[in-house]
């Protein structure tokens, strides 16, 4: 299985959703991410990462709270935000980084 660093470096545009099963806002973010993916298709890869199951990854990206979204472009972090983001705003943000 590829490491997170490998996935980040290989994907042209990658959105990682750092979340947890017990997190209410994380559950509310799921349909937002689904909507964005359905509109943008192959323009972006969306990866959900459970911080409880991946503590090393959460620590390496200094995740303090969930949900935290980080957008990577060609292996570099270009945007980061904790909390809920409305689908239209998230879609626009991703399109701005294409």
Q: Above pLDDT 90, what percent of the chain?
A: 93
Q: Which of 7, 23, 78, 84 is catalytic?
A: 23
CB crowding 65-74: b at 16 or more within 10 Å, else e = ebbbbbbbbe
Mean pLDDT of 73-78: 96
26 is catalytic: yes
Q: How confident is the model at residue 2 (pLDDT cuts 50, 70, 90)?
A: confident
- Report pLDDT for 1: 67
Q: Find the catalytic residue in 8, 14, 26, 85.
A: 26
3-class DSSP state for residue 70? strand
The yes-or-no answer on residue 23 being catalytic is yes
């Amino acid at each position: 299985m590829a490491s997170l660093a490998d996935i980040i470096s290989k994907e042209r545009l990658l959105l990682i959703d750092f979340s947890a099963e017990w997190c209410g806002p994380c559950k509310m973010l799921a349909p937002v991410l689904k909507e964005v993916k359905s509109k943008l298709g192959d323009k972006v890869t969306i990866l959900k990462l459970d911080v409880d199951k991946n503590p090393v990854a959460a620590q390496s990206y200094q995740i303090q709270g969930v949900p935290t979204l980080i957008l990577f472009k060609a292996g570099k972090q270009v945007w980061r935000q904790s909390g809920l983001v409305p689908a239209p705003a998230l879609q626009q943000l991703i399109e701005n980084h294409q």
